[in-house]
Amino acid sequence: MIEQQPPGETQGNNIPDCLLEARQLWRDYDGHVAVRDLDLELRRGDVLGFLGPNGAGKSTTMQMLSGNLAPSTGSIRINGIDLLDEPAAAKRQLGYLPEQPPLYPELTVSEYLDFCARLHGVARSERGRAIEAAIERCDLGDMRNRLIGQLSKGYQQRTGIAQAILHDPAVIILDEPTVGLDPIQIRDIRALIRELGRDHALLLSTHILAEVQETCSRVLMIHHGRVVHESRLDALDAGVQYRISGSTLPDDGTFRSLAGVAAVERVSPERVILTLDSEPPRVLAQLAAKEWGISEFTPQHRNLEQLFVELTARDTEGAA
């Protein structure tokens, strides 16, 4: 049943294993549109980083996907089951960790997980094993008989994650899972997220861009309630900009006349940044044929932060 698929190898539109699918989601509150026309798709093995500035409609979207809020229009399918038509069956496939972990401080970790297992309809015969597996995965073994209210923030967060993965859901939604943790705990949780991503579909909302770069296979940015960017992270990494240094570089016009070059940015007389719209080797071959004393041809990694700032700033200007 569990298909091992390393992140980065799901391809194309043949939807073999679409676990979470949202179509044309709209949500408005009293005339104010919080989310408009949002499409989202998650396959097994996907870890989708869900980004957006505060107030972009991120938490509204998370609440809709987790069944906490009904969308104004649109549909959500979890593992092929419509969330609005058959909420109980769809939610059985869903694990959700809200921003504040939903814990009962007066219970012990194992009492709490037992309650969650019953709540999610885990069969009696499976319950013990499911709880043990979740405790082990989240490294809660020493804490199982401690009161949740007396645990540190890090362990509380892990208990929250244990609750979300307990019933082995197809889709796991985590809202800012590493907020308030120390660096070691953050590292552990990120490792856990990557591990979970192998056989589940994960949606991860966060403000920490480095976290997305480290754990996610795809990224989706929303701003003013609509999707402004969606890509695979490896595609983002490869980049389309190249830095070229040479002792006798020609003027910008000459660069622009090369096939495959979309834009030229002059950094200094000896250095330009080219934006390519075709395969790099083609351009490289042309450059190599010229006698411009070229000593460097380096891909420019557009990092997530630049992209984030660009997209959100541009859209603000557009809306203003």
Q: Is residue 121 close enough to count as binding other proteins by CB under 8 A?
A: yes
Q: Is residue 118 close enough to count as binding other proteins by CB under 8 A?
A: yes
Q: 109 or 261: whose CB is closer to other proteins?
A: 109
Out of 37, 82, 98, 139, name the contact with other proteins by CB under 8 A. 98
Which residue type, as a one-letter code, is found at position 262? A
Q: 126 or 305: whose CB is closer to other proteins?
A: 126
Distance in Å, CB of 216 to other proteins, minimum: 22
Q: Is residue 104 close enough to count as binding other proteins by CB under 8 A?
A: yes
Q: Which positions from 127 to 166 touch other proteins by CB under 8 A, shown as an x/- string? A: ------------------------------------x---
One-character DSSP codes across 42-99: EETT-EEEEE--TTSSHHHHHHHHTTSS--SEEEEEETTEETTTSHHHHHTTEEEE-S
Token pair of 275, please?
Answer: 């934006």
Nearest residue to 61 (alpha-carbon basis) of 169, 173, 163, 178: 173
Question: What are the φ and ψ backbone dihedral angles of 285, each rounded to 5 degrees?
Answer: -60, -40
225, 71 Cβ separation under 8 angstroms? no
Q: Is residue 179 close enough to count as binding other proteins by CB under 8 A?
A: no
Give the interface segment with other proteins, choosing from 99-107, 129-137, 199-207, 239-247 (CB under 8 A).
99-107
272, 244 Cβ separation under 8 angstroms? yes
**Residue owning tokens 């495959």:** 260
Q: 10 or 205: whose CB is closer to other proteins?
A: 205
**Residue owning tokens 């044929």:** 289
Out of 24, 29, 129, 314, name the contact with other proteins by CB under 8 A. 29
Neighbours of 108 (CB within 10 A): 18
Q: Is residue 50 close enough to count as binding other proteins by CB under 8 A?
A: no
Out of 24, 68, 73, 254, name the contact with other proteins by CB under 8 A. 68
Out of 33, 107, 273, 294, name the contact with other proteins by CB under 8 A. 107
Give the interface segment with other proteins, choosing from 36-44, 106-114, 192-200, 262-270 (CB under 8 A).
106-114
The span from the CA of 52 to the CA of 115, in Å, is: 34
Q: Is residue 89 close enough to count as binding other proteins by CB under 8 A?
A: yes
- Could you tell me whether strands 18-29 and 32-43 are parallel, antiparallel, or unpaired per DSSP bridges? antiparallel
Q: Could you list the residues that contact other proteins (CB under 8 A)?
A: 29, 63, 66-70, 87-92, 94, 96, 98, 100-107, 111, 115-116, 118-121, 163
